[in-house]
């Protein structure tokens, strides 16, 4: 197998494709022998997918209207309010150098805040996939419902449901007849016998 069509991608190609699974929805630049992704108008950035600055002799990409930040109109880009500074303003009308930024929330850290008030080193990790503690169900009311194998079929192949039940500690106060009925229904389905055994233990 060969690697993906795009520059810098060493992933293997997907079956019946010239691109890997990660890039399979990305367009290819129209210019012959170009291995870049489309940015706009079926062209990559290098071949005109991004508009260039309209100032004579400038080859930078346009960012403010039809001009780059260097040649754009001065009223379109906010400038630092500090005397003699022409840098772009970020916060409170000032550039980073003159106080237009926030520092990390961690005491003693003098690095600029980048994410949610923290620097890259102190940014808290995202939410975890699993809860830190098992979930407890205080009380569950179960009503008897006539079901058929057809109604329960979608749940027999649901791995996520089986995994979810392994992490739940149910504390149920239900009538014994209803419990016996549900027990018989679930044990008859493929794979649920093990789940019930784990819950009973």
Task: Give per-residue pLDDT as tens, 150-164.
Answer: 555 555 555 555 555
pLDDT at 142: 55
pLDDT at 170: 46
- Hey, how many other C-beta atoms are within 10 angstroms of the C-beta on 192? 19
pLDDT at 129: 47
Judged by average pLDDT, the poorest of 45-54, 58-67, 182-191 is 182-191
Are 69 and 81 within 8 A, CB to CB? Answer: no
What is the Cα–Cα distance from 195 to 127, expressed in whole angstroms? 27
Judged by average pLDDT, the poorest of 15-24, 68-77, 162-171 is 162-171
Please report the DSSP string for 27-70 in residue order.
Answer: -B-SSTT--PBP-BTTB-IIIIISPBP-STT--SBP-BTTB-TT
The pTM for the full model equals 0.34
Q: Does residue 178 carry a pLDDT above 60?
A: no
Residue 50 has phi, psi (to 5 degrees) of -110, 140
Give the percent of the chain with pLDDT over 90: 13
CB-based burial, 152-169: b 16+ in 10 Å, e otherwise: eeeeeeeeeebeebeeee
Are 192 and 200 within 8 A, CB to CB? Answer: no
Judged by average pLDDT, the poorest of 37-46, 72-81, 137-146, 187-196 is 137-146
Are 29 and 38 within 8 A, CB to CB? Answer: yes
What is the Cα–Cα distance from 30 to 43, expressed in whole angstroms? 6
Domain definitions of the chain by residue range: 1-38, 135-191
Judged by average pLDDT, the poorest of 6-10, 19-23, 93-97, 166-170 is 166-170
What is the Cα–Cα distance from 175 to 187, expressed in whole angstroms? 18
Distance of alpha carbon 190 from the chain centroid: 34
């Amino acid at each position: 197998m060969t690697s993906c069509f795009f520059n810098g991608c060493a992933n293997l190609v997907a079956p019946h494709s010239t691109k890997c699974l990660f890039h399979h929805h990305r367009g290819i630049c129209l210019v012959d022998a170009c291995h870049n992704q489309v940015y706009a108008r079926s062209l990559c950035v290098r071949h005109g997918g991004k508009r260039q600055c309209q100032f004579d002799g400038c080859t930078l990409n346009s960012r403010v209207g039809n001009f780059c930040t260097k040649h754009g109109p001065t009223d379109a880009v906010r400038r630092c309010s500090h005397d003699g500074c022409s840098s772009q303003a970020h916060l409170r009308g000032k550039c980073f150098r003159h106080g237009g930024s926030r520092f990390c929330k961690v005491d003693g850290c003098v690095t600029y805040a980048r994410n949610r008030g923290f620097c890259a080193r102190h940014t808290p990790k995202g939410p975890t996939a699993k809860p830190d503690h098992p979930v407890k169900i205080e009380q569950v009311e179960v009503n008897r419902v006539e079901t058929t194998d057809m109604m329960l079929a979608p749940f027999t192949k649901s791995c996520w449901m089986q995994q979810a039940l392994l992490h739940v500690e149910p504390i149920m106060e239900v009538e014994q007849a209803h419990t016996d009925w549900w027990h018989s229904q679930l044990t008859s389905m493929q794979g649920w016998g093990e789940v019930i055994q784990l819950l009973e233990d």
